[in-house]
Homo-oligomer: A and B are copies of this chain.
Amino acid sequence: MNAQSQSWFSNNPLIQKLNATTGLTETEQQAILQLPHVIREFQADEAIAEIGDRPSVCSIMLEGWACRYKMVAEDSRQIMSFHLAGDIVDVQSVFLKTMDHSIAALTPLKLALVQHRDVHELLRRLPGISVAFWRDALVESAIFREWLVGIGRRTAHQRIAHVLCEMATKARVVGLNDGYTFPWPITQTELADALGLSSVHVNRVIGDLKGWGLVTFSRKTFVADDWKGLKALAQFDPDYLHLDPRVAA
């Protein structure tokens, strides 16, 4: 119950992320580092939680990528979010018993599992952390809303550009992005399932973005060749991420 790891102590990505919206005191950071937890590794495509499950732990991402999704039919999936280091992938389960959607690994990944009761205890003991968790959950809500706007009202080109801007920004917060480059393990099919498009169309649109000199993809890496152009196309305004001005673009 107290297995430890490199990525929990050095540069803990949860602290890094919470700091980006809230700012934590030294005490609060220590309390997070001292949370009893177990590190668990997953393979790509492995299920982290499935619809109908009643988890007793919640999962903090340390490395890798994951997504939330729901199946609509045998062959129709809607991905509702992508997650990387620092995300608490199922805070939901701390308060609502049953999972109403599934979560799966997109790449090999590493999670810290924390018992629900320890989370409850942490939130009760340190109101500052409670506020940080609230903010984090509300920002996630804001991201869902932004995706809603995208799927509902933006063209395929804007949608794809927008999600790239969003992930680039989220990656920067946890130090995975040097400004123009970051790891991009998402397949075009996955992107399609996230944006309500077909993989064929995603492929064509990405072709356009490349052709217009906005982006490049090489070896699972995303390169923003023209970050300003990409943001302009997407009409990307990061306000909804509620980042500390020091961290924001």
Contacts and interface: CB of A to CB of B under 8 A. Distances in A.
Interface residues of A, number: 42
Contacts of A11: none
A172 interface: no
Given A100-B240, A140-B141, A72 B154 contact: yes
B78 A135 contact: no
Interface in A63-122: 68, 70, 72, 76-78, 80, 91-92, 94-96, 98, 100-101
Secondary structure at chain A's binding surface: helix, strand, loop or mixed?
Answer: helix
Interface stretch (A2-10, A26-34, A144-152): A144-152
A80 B145 CA distance: 6
Nearest to A52: B239
Contacts of A134: 94-95, 134, 137
A139 B239 contact: no
Given A72-B153, A127-B124, A152-B78, A137 B137 contact: yes
Contacts of A124: 127
Nearest to A131: B95
A152 B196 contact: yes
- Copies of this chain in the oligomer: 2
A148 B142 contact: no
A145 B95 contact: no
A57 interface: no
A83 to B, nearest CB: 14
A235 B70 CA distance: 13
Contacts of A235: 72
Contact of A137 (B68, B138, B239): B138
In the complex, the 8 A-B pairs of residues with the closest C-beta atoms, listed nearest first: A152-B196, A144-B144, A100-B240, A78-B149, A72-B153, A95-B134, A78-B152, A141-B141
Interface of A: 68, 70, 72, 76-78, 80, 91-92, 94-96, 98, 100-101, 124, 127, 130-131, 134-135, 137-142, 144-145, 147-149, 151-154, 195-196, 235, 239-240, 242
24 contacts: A72-B153, A72-B154, A72-B235, A78-B153, A80-B145, A80-B149, A94-B134, A95-B134, A95-B138, A96-B135, A96-B242, A98-B239, A100-B142, A100-B242, A124-B127, A141-B144, A144-B144, A144-B145, A144-B148, A147-B148, A148-B148, A148-B151, A151-B151, A151-B196
